[in-house]
Structure 1
Amino acid sequence: MMTHQSITVQATPQTAYALAQDVSNWPQLLSHYAWVRVLDERDDERTLIMAAWRSWVLVRWTAVQRLLPAIPRIEFIHIGGWARGMRVAWLFDRTESGTKIEIMHDLATVGVPIVRTRLGKSIAARYFINPIASRTLAGMKRALESSNG
């Protein structure tokens, strides 16, 4: 199962990428992010613990972030938490009106048994992944467009 969320922002792909890859700053930009802690960083890879609010539920996970600035693309693989094994990709494509930022979540390799089921994936996507990703994209848009204004 794959989920997709996207938004178009008035910024270049490089500017959008630069803001999105700086996950340490997400709690200052995105009100639903409780914290992001960098556990390890080398070259274009970081190991992170992240936590975001979904309504009154705090969702926490550990992930490896891989940076591909030349493309530009950001990849995450969840290595801890309820979505362990999930792969996430952020894509930045130039459009006539700016940049389309797309987040894709691939739940095919989730390792937690209850989330691995069709029902589990559907619940995870509908009630956690999609709402958090949509708020993240909306916050990125606000931050990018207010800095351009």
Structure 2
Amino acid sequence: MYTRNEITINCDKETAFRYARQVENWPALLPHYRGVQFEQGGSDRGGLVMMRAVRPFKPFKWPVWWVSEMKVDEQLCSVYYKHVRGVTAGMEVEWLIEALDEKEPVKVTIIHRWLQPPLGRRLAADMIGEVFVYAIADRTLQGLKQRIEEHGNEQDIQEEVG
């Protein structure tokens, strides 16, 4: 299974990276996130993080969760995850942030790869990818774009959620 979500955000690379890595703030910023807690580490250096979200289907919201090993690459302004628990265990996720111009805008790409899902989930992997993974990643990018562009490049994410 492979999905790719992309969006262009009117901000500098560092602002997009700050919002992408500070996942513990996402429940306050993104209505589809129910909770994000680090079991080990933190957003500054990465660690083991549990994420809980919902995938809306009218008239209800389907709850989903996963635990990932998160790694942060300061030089590349990238965030990497490997799902270690949950339905999507083994999935690899890569957040790439690229400057399109010298300062603004930036392109943010999320790539999900689930090359060897557990045997019982192989038949459902494409459906999980399209119906859940792609849809949740798209909501995440759209929500972060809206927050960043509404609050400006200089807005400190901690001030916004606090």
**TM > 0.5 between the two?**
yes
Cα distance in structure 1, aligned partners of 2:99 and 2:133: 25
State the TM-score, normalizing by the size of structure 2: 0.85
Question: How far does the alpha carbon of each residue in 1:44-89 deviate from its partner, in whole angstroms, 9 at most, with x for none?
Answer: 2211111110011100111111000110100000000000000000
* Total equivalences in the alignment: 146
**Is structure 2 residue 123 aligned with structure 1 residue 122?**
no
1:126 CA drift (Å): 1.2
* Two-structure CA RMSD over aligned residues (Å): 1.5
| Pairing of 1:81-92 with structure 2 (within 5 A) | 81-92=86-97
Aligned counterpart, 2:77? 72
Cα distance in structure 2, aligned partners of 1:13 and 1:6: 15
Aligned counterpart, 1:26? 26
Aligned counterpart, 1:133? 137
The runs of 5 or more residues in structure 1 that have no matched partner are none
Aligned residue identity for 2:143: G
Aligned counterpart, 2:105? 98
Partner residue of 1:109 out of 102, 106, 116:
116
Contact 2:3–2:130, Cα closer than 8 Å, also in 1: no
The runs of 5 or more residues in structure 2 that have no matched partner are 154-162
Contact 2:52–2:64, Cα closer than 8 Å, also in 1: yes
Name the SS of the counterpart of 1:83 in structure 2.
coil
**Is structure 2 residue 151 aligned with structure 1 residue 144?**
no
Aligned residue identity for 1:148: G
Which deviates further from its counterpart, 8-17 or 95-104?
Answer: 95-104
Name the SS of the counterpart of 2:89 in structure 1.
coil
Aligned counterpart, 1:5? 5
Name the SS of the counterpart of 2:124 in structure 1.
helix
Cα distance in structure 2, aligned partners of 1:30 and 1:114: 31
1:28 CA drift (Å): 0.5
State the TM-score, normalizing by the size of structure 1: 0.92
Question: What is the percent sequence identity of the aligned residues?
Answer: 29
